[in-house]
Structure 1
Amino acid sequence: MYARGAKQYQAVGTQTSIMDADPHKLIQLLIDGALARMSAAKGHIQRNEIEQRNKMLNSAINIISGLQESLNMDAGELSLNLERLYDYMTRRLFEANLKNDETIVDEVVKLMLEIKSAWDGIREEALSIAR
C-alpha cells in the first residue's frame, strides 16, 4: 500500500513539475526521464527481466525521439549534430535491447549525460532569451 501511495505522490509531483516548467526545464525533465529509464533498464538486464527491460528501453527511445522531434532545425549546425546524435542513441538502444547488453546502455547514458551537462550549463542564458 505504501508503494502505491508513493507512486501516486511521485506522479502528482511529476505532473506539477511539467505544468510549471518553462521550455528549457521541460527538456531537462525529458533528459532526466530518459536517464532514469536507461538506469532502470540496466537493472532489468542484470536481473534478466526481459519484459521490464524492453519497456524501459522503449520508453527511453520514445523520450529521445521526442527530444529529436523538438529540435529547431533552423538553428544551424548544432541542431543537425544533435539530430544525428539522437538518431545514433536510438539505434544503440534498439541494439542494447536486442542483445540484452548493458554496456551499450552505458554508452548511451554517457552521451546523454554530456548533453545534460551542456543543457544545464545554458539554463541562465536560455531563461534570459525567453524573457
Structure 2
Amino acid sequence: MMNHEAYSSYHATNLDAQVTRASPIELVLVLTDGLLEELARARGHIEGKRYELKAKSLNKCTDIINGLSSSLDFDNGGEVVANLGRLYDYCAGRLYTAGVSLDPAIIDEVTSLLTTIKKGWLGVQAKTNG
C-alpha cells in the first residue's frame, strides 16, 4: 500500500504526463475526472463530519470548476459556451451552498450535472477524432 504522499506525487506526475500530451478537450476531460473524484471525496467528508477536510475538498472543486470555466472560448463559442459557463457558475454556487448546509444531495446534483457535461465533451471528442 502506497503512503498518501507517494500516492499524491505519483498522481501529480501521472496528471502532468497526461496534461503534457493532451488536446484541449482531453485536458477538459482530465480536469473533469479529477473534479468528479474530488466531489466524491467532499461528499464522504460531509457524511463523515470531517468538516475541515470538506472545506479543503470543496475549495479544490471550486478551483477546478473556475479553471474549466475560464478556459472556455466565450468570444467564439456562441450560445453553447455561454450556457456551459452559466452551468459551471451554477455548480460553483451549489458547492458553496453544500459547504454551508452540509447536504450531500447537493453534491449529487453537481456530480450529475458534471457527468452530463462530461458526456457532451466526450461526444465532441469523438467527432473531433472521428
TM-based fold match above 0.5 = yes
Q: Which residue of 2 aligns with 1:97?
A: 99
Q: Which residue of 2 aligns with 1:81?
A: 83
CA distance in 2, matches of 1:106, 1:72: 28
SS at match of 1:66: helix
Deviations 1:67-98 (A, max 9, x none): 11111112111011111111111100000001
CA distance in 1, matches of 2:68, 2:57: 17
Deviations 1:33-64 (A, max 9, x none): 11111100001011000011111111111111
Q: CA RMSD in A?
A: 1.5
Q: Which runs of 4+ in 1 moved over 4 A?
A: none
CA distance in 1, matches of 2:65, 2:128: 21
Correspondence 1:1-131 to 2 at 5 A: 2-3=2-3, 4-73=5-74, 74-127=76-129
CA distance in 2, matches of 1:84, 1:90: 10
| Structure 1 residue 124: Cα displacement | 2.9
CA distance in 2, matches of 1:76, 1:103: 32
Q: 1:65 corresponds to which letter in structure 2?
A: N
Of all paired residues, the percent bearing the same amino acid is 36
Q: What TM-score, normalized by structure 2, do the two folds share?
A: 0.91
CA distance in 2, matches of 1:95, 1:81: 21
CA distance in 1, matches of 2:28, 2:128: 12
SS at match of 2:34: helix
Q: What TM-score, normalized by structure 1, do the two folds share?
A: 0.91
SS at match of 2:89: helix
CA distance in 2, matches of 1:98, 1:126: 40
Give the number of equivalent residue pairs: 128
